[in-house]
Structure 1
Amino acid sequence: MHRHGSLRDTAETYARDVLVIGPDDVTFSVAKFFFAYGLGNTLTFPFSVGASTVLDRSRPSPAGTVRVLQEFRPTLFFGGPTYYAALLAADLPQDAFTSVRACVSAGEAFPAPLFERFTSTFDVEMLDGIGSTEMLHIFISGRPGRTRAGATGEIVAGYDAKILDDDGNPVPDGTPGNLFVRGSSAATGYWCRMATTRLVFQGDWVRTGDTYVRGEDGFYTSLGRTDDIIKAGGIWVSPPRWRSGCGSTQR
């Protein structure tokens, strides 16, 4: 359950702080309206500054994306790692993203090898981020000129994050733990799901269900969903990141 003000809040935090969206921008989102991610990309962000957006009813495909890129020349492109991998595998023209000043990714951790291949192939900046329906959009993200393959990025202005162990105690930088976030765009809870609401919404803080580690430089790195992490021989291991070739294990 979200308040109406949450829509405004995401436009005044992520869209302003990270995207620096303006009236001359044209957005195109592979994620549709019914995702919180797509709602911001396609509606509230461009509407907040008088920018333009491209609506495409068709099922997302590399061929359809090229058509939109060539015909409407979007400046901000929104997708997820799986779709970016599909675009890379489709052998698109290297100048396909010439009009795009930044690609944005969310929905899952972005594997470092894919990040490097995509950005080098199309010479475009990739802003990876983590958001959730509970927070309505992205709250940790890479920034223009400050991106790093394999890392999600830094906290977005207007939000706070903390990493706690299973007992609820803060962990030092470099140690994995449970990611919590707070900000004005947080939902008020789940409709008719009181037990889950109490578990996830803890005062001002929202438990995301993600395992993260924060570096001393303030960059946050995903180690996967909390349920995916296992401890083998005293070492925390993230199977999804191991499979993607990101090679992340933390004690």
Structure 2
Amino acid sequence: MDQIDRLSTEIRPPEPGTTALVTGANSGIGFAVARQLLDHGVVVWVGSRDLSKGERAASQLGSAVHVVQLDVTDSSSVAAAVERIAKLDILVNNAGVNSGGEDVTTTSIDQLRTAYETNVFGLISVTQGFLPALKRSAHPRIVNVSSGTGSLTWNSGPNPQFDWERAQGGGLAYRSSKTAVNAVTLLTAQALGNTFKVNALAPGLRRTNLIAGMTVGGDPAEAASGVVRLALLPDDGPTGSLWSWDGTRAPW
């Protein structure tokens, strides 16, 4: 859609009462996104599958924080969250899983199903549920946290995002689910028109709970800054694109 190569550093200062929901916000990138949105004066809902973990995160974030139990794979949980959050301007679809498995010879259907249930179907379920509230916003924004490993361009040739030669064919469940997230982002942007700003972010490798015990990767706060830039895009900002955390366009 929009063909710019780098995001402007300009953000749209949020109006008083601007409200955001961040799924999977009890830790990692989601937690850092919540903190940074709060710093910009946004009212934040921390979405957490485990309510106690969400409440613990909220206690660390301070004021202007609300907590909602939200399991993106559970339609009743999504419906309850929609009932509770009547006003919404920004939706950050951050919740995600890495269900394991490697290439097509070793990855089970259950591992694929688990990845898609959260990363794709859950993302769509939450987006659909909150569309009525977002349509009432003057500046609706949707940010889908994707992955550079889902880029078909980068998967088919050397790239700066990951070890291409070592990764060939691996990570089938996770990486293909993020390719699907990229497609969903583009098609959602096309369906909703230019009033909405719908974009995906490739956050880069971060120290999160995505893989148990993972200690490598950069600071989640660095990736969160890229999410926040997309969440607070000015009205003439781009839509329907995949962006790297540093604000450069990433290829589909």
The normalised TM-score by structure 1 is 0.33
- Structure with the larger RCO, 1 or 2 (CA within 8 Å, 6+ apart): 2
The normalised TM-score by structure 2 is 0.33
Structure whose CA Rg is larger: 1
- Which structure has more helix as a fraction of its residues? 2
- Which structure has more strand as a fraction of its residues? 1
